[in-house]
């Protein structure tokens, strides 16, 4: 049984959030997204020349993403270097951005996306994808929509939104974590992963609660971008 969340939130409540763009001067686009104690920074460089050249596509751009957790991002110091998990999350972010960015408008070019997690308390891939989407928009890339991502799941017998590390590690009754990424205005899922076991009916409920959370994240993303461009127009 899981009748009350460790941090006292409602089961459909997100952790406190912060979002801002234009924070890395040397990047074409950049963003920071924080949700609870998880914080991600993203920088976008490009469109630029494709390197190595054999990866070039004549009809569209390619996205190259690298995800990295800073050694100080977790209590037990993270090992430096690019491991299998980093590679997997880098690919997850790339695949999601491939659906969001209109690559056909930038043939023979490359978009370099760098994501760094400075604090980690679960949901790092979702926070990173959310930050990366904002950074792409900040860079002025043509996009179908922003990607808003959040983890939902089932803790014990309760459907929960925006899991913490403490909830992911919940042993009594088990925990299932489902990272979900949405293109909200398109009502399209671009990321759906499952860590654990859950029934088909419960998965539907998890996706629905994820959509509700993503809609709130989406509004925060848009507000951050509006502030950025409003400040530029006034300066």
- Tell me the per-residue pLDDT of 152-162, one tens digit each, with 9 for 90 and over: 999 988 999 99
Predicted TM-score (pTM) of the model is: 0.92
> Phi/psi class of residue 15: alpha, beta or left (left: φ > 0; alpha: ψ in -120 to 50)?
beta
| Rounded mean pLDDT, 203-228 | 96
pLDDT digits (tens, 9 = 90+) for 6-45: 899 999 999 999 999 999 999 999 999 999 999 999 999 9
> Could you give the C-alpha distances from 90 to 46, 84, 99, in angstroms and in order?
17, 10, 15
pLDDT digits (tens, 9 = 90+) for 106-128: 999 999 999 999 999 989 999 99
Q: How many CB atoms neighbour CB 157 within 10 A? A: 11
Is the CATH code 2.60.40.420 the one for domain 17-234?
no
**Contact by Cβ (8 Å): 55, 109:** no
| Rounded mean pLDDT, 199-222 | 97
- The overall longest dimension of the chain from CA atoms, in Å, is 55
- Return the pLDDT at 229: 78
In the chain, where the domains are located: 17-234
Residues of the chain with pLDDT > 90, as a percent, come to: 75
- Return the pLDDT at 191: 97
């Amino acid at each position: 049984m899981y009748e009350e969340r460790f941090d006292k939130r409602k089961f459909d409540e997100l952790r406190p959030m912060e979002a801002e763009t234009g924070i890395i001067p040397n990047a074409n686009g950049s963003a920071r997204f924080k949700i609870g104690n998880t914080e991600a920074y993203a920088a976008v460089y490009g469109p630029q020349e494709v390197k190595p050249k054999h990866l070039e596509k004549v009809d569209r751009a390619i996205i190259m993403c690298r995800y990295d957790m800073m050694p100080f991002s977790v209590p037990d110091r993270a090992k430096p270097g690019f491991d299998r998990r980093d590679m997997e999350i880098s690919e997850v972010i790339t695949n999601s951005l491939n659906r969001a960015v209109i690559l056909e408008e930038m043939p023979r070019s490359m978009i370099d996306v760098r994501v760094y997690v400075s604090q980690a308390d679960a949901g790092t891939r979702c926070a990173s994808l959310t930050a990366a989407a904002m950074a792409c928009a900040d860079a002025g890339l043509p996009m179908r929509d922003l990607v808003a991502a959040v983890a939902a799941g089932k803790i014990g017998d309760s459907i929960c939104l925006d899991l913490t590390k403490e909830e992911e590690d919940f042993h009594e009754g088990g925990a299932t974590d489902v990272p979900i990424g949405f293109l909200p205005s398109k009502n399209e899922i671009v990321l759906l992963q499952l860590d654990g076991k859950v029934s088909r009916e419960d998965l539907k409920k998890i996706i629905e609660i994820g959509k509700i959370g993503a809609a709130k994240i989406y509004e925060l993303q848009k507000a951050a971008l509006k502030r950025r461009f409003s400040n530029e127009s006034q300066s």
